[in-house]
Amino acid sequence: MRKAALRNLGCKVNFYETEAMAQLLEEAGYEIVDFEDAADVYIINTCSVTNIADRKSRQMLHRAKKRNRESVVVAVGCYVQAAGDRLKEDWAVDILVGNNKKTEIAAILEEYFAGRELKRDAYLVDIGSVREYEGLGIKRGSEHTRAFLKIQDGCNQFCSYCIIPYTRGRVRSRKPDEIVEEAKRLADLGYQEIVLTGIHLSSYGMDLSKEESLLGLMERLDGIEGLKRMRLGSLEPRIITEDFVKALAKLRTICPHFHLSLQSGSDEVLKRMNRRYTGEEFKRSCEILRKWFEYPAITTDVIVGFPQETAREFGETVKLVRDVRFYEMHVFKYSKREGTKAAGMDGQVGEPVKSARSDILLGIGKEMSREYRKGLLGQERQVLMEEKMVIHGTQYLAGYTKEYVKAAVLWDETLKGKMVTGVLKEMVTDEVMLMDSSHEDP
């Protein structure tokens, strides 16, 4: 029995795909081992969202080959699409597998081990011409309580800083019946929460019939017996309309945890980024969410130091962020990505300025996150209990509320994997709330 080790780099979509490939290899008779162990095959699902991600992908490929020179090293995914010509000449890589070819991983390896003469890039596709969703699915999640469910691939937005449309191709939506079938299977296995993921989730259904949409899919998933929670990945602000959110609020399983990508609070910067909304439109989206949900957790991404960003434009971002009051904010210093429009723009901002602006937003983010959690004190919440934690020498069982706030009870092994409802009493740490577990939910 051959041994295979897989490593995921990058986003939640990559995470899902890596799990799916591992399950395909298991079915083909491989033993899946830890990436740090000796293996016959190393598969790295690469990332190319930044130049740093490219470098990490190269380093991981070389590290795998050095671990076992006789092993087969397979480079899969976005970095393969972005740098296929370079990887064809890389001594550490034996096989290149592009996006939309991951379902064939077992057959590709079988062909390789059969000794057939294959070009190293025989499975590297022109992703821009692909219009079919890759039929990749999972039969079980890697976590015990929560499972990711990929419903969409590709992006048509072409933000000026982003390489993803070139590495993932155009929007491709998974058929609703396949998604519902996988969700039912996961619920039957005991998964109580699913997280819908995709490269550009808001575009789901645009390539299907007019009747198919993200909302329509969620309404179908909401009716699955045994499924208690449904969480959304990142959304575009423009999808947040009154009708959309009003319908979401009626769903039994919806988690009031919404990630809306802001990137900048300056209209001029947003225009240079090719983001198709204004700061005021973004704020309006947040107001709609707060109208229909009692205390939604709204999170976001912000890029600082985008080319030509002035002190005034950065100040507009700071003002908008303070006005909106996010639960969490992920701050990224702009990193030039070769192959994108922004990489060739004049007025690249220096690292010291980017670092200073990042520090300012990170400080505001901590303040807002603490404020949001304090707003939950004294409130009753349901928590899906997942993991053991030791804080200041005391053992706790911790999990997440629907808002994705971490809460804990004193250690009780019988509650692991269960839904527990209680009152959030106090802050144990800056990020963990103590809950009085009044009862386990049926």
For 284-330, what is each residue's pLDDT tens digit? 999 999 999 999 999 999 999 999 999 999 999 999 999 999 999 99
Contact 270, 309 (CB under 8 A): no
Instruction: State the architecture of 3-125 in CATH terms.
Output: 3-Layer(aba) Sandwich (3.40)
Residue 206's pLDDT is what? Answer: 95
Residue 10 pLDDT > 90, yes or no?
no
Residue 121 pLDDT > 90, yes or no?
no
Query: Which positions ≥6 away from 89 have C-beta within 8 Å?
Result: none
Residue 442's pLDDT is what? Answer: 61
210 burial (CB, 10 Å; 0-12 / 13-18 / 19+) is: exposed
Residue 251 pLDDT > 90, yes or no?
yes
Which pTM value belongs to this model? 0.93
Q: Which of 431, 369, 368 is nearest to 398 (CA)?
A: 431
Task: Give the range among 119-128, 234-243, 349-358, 414-423 with minimum mean pLDDT.
Answer: 119-128
**pLDDT tens sequence across 371-422:** 999 999 999 999 999 999 999 999 999 999 999 999 999 999 999 999 999 9
**In the predicted model, what is the mean pLDDT of residues 152-159?**
96
**pLDDT tens sequence across 56-76:** 999 999 999 998 899 999 999
Distance (Å, rounded) from C-alpha 230 to C-alpha 281?
26
Q: Band of the pLDDT at 439, cuts 50, 70, 90?
A: low
For the beta carbon of residue 258, count every other beta carbon within 10 angstroms: 24
Distance (Å, rounded) from C-alpha 243 to C-alpha 171?
24
Residue 125's pLDDT is what? Answer: 86
**In the predicted model, what is the mean pLDDT of residues 219-223?**
98
Q: Which of 56, 60, 58, 4 is nearest to 27 (CA)?
A: 4
DSSP strand pairing (193-198 vs 229-232): parallel
Residue 432's pLDDT is what? Answer: 96
Query: What's 263's DSSP letter?
Result: B
The highest-level CATH class for domain 146-374 is: alpha beta
